[in-house]
Structure 1
């Protein structure tokens, strides 16, 4: 593979790993928010209306930010009916074919998320609740993370193509 592709793959792997590591720590933030909610609601009887929604947004960010690292590490769900019986090169062929389906899906998802973000910005979209938070930050994060997943998936496609050709990146 050309040096530019190898550099791209290494760069995307590092970025995805760092973003995934940051996502991992969001679970502690979510636990803290839910613990605060439990204490204020049950111990001192002062319910904080923003806690549950903040926990939901944190969980959404956790899933979005962890997507690229999940793709990089191959820790996604896979149907292994025949896949396990294939050779390493056969697995690379299957992965090289199916990864283009994932790229197509992520392109459609990215298009929809950009449209949704545009709508949120144009209308000043807010969630209908007592806290009434803006939807723009979570939708912007969604667009960024889907783009990162798409870029990581392209890096994975290069890895699979190299493996089919008998090399590695």
Structure 2
């Protein structure tokens, strides 16, 4: 594989790994929000923002951690036949499924971007008592899908290298 492809793989995987390690700490943020919510309810002064903020934080945790999860191959796989394939056979099957994933992620990136632009143009707000702006979480969702797409391209490159008998 050419050097620029190896550099691309290292950059995308390094970025997604670092971002995933930061994103995993969002669980503590969610716990803090929920603890604050519980305390304010005990004191009979419930905060309006806690449930939505916990939901937004969970979306950020999931979307920003997903590329790292995909990179680490920690996703669920139906392994009835896959484990019986040779290493090259597994790479062929993975390349096929990555194409399907990239098609799906391409649609999701396009749709998320379109929704984010709409949110900016119309100052879209959530129709709740707190009424937060929706563009920040939509930016996170769009970024997460874009990073997932980039990670999928890295998986495809790795599969192609395996099929060709090369290492990256």
| Pair 1:163-2:162 in alignment | yes
1:119: which partner in 2?
118
Residue-pair matches, total: 168
Matches of 2:44 and 2:27, distance apart in 1: 25
TM-score (norm 2): 0.98
TM-score (norm 1): 0.97
Q: Give secondary structure in 1 for the equivalent of 2:92.
A: helix
2:71: which partner in 1?
72
2:83: which partner in 1?
84
Q: Give secondary structure in 1 for the equivalent of 2:76.
A: coil
What is the CA-CA distance between 1:152 and the residue it aligns to? Answer: 1.0
What is the CA-CA distance between 1:67 and the residue it aligns to? Answer: 1.2
RMSD: 0.8
What is the CA-CA distance between 1:20 and the residue it aligns to? Answer: 0.5
Matches of 1:8 and 1:149, distance apart in 2: 14
> Structure 1, unaligned stretches of length 5 or more?
none
Q: 4+ residue stretches of structure 1 with deviation over 3 A?
A: none
| Pair 1:15-2:15 in alignment | yes
1:47: which partner in 2?
46
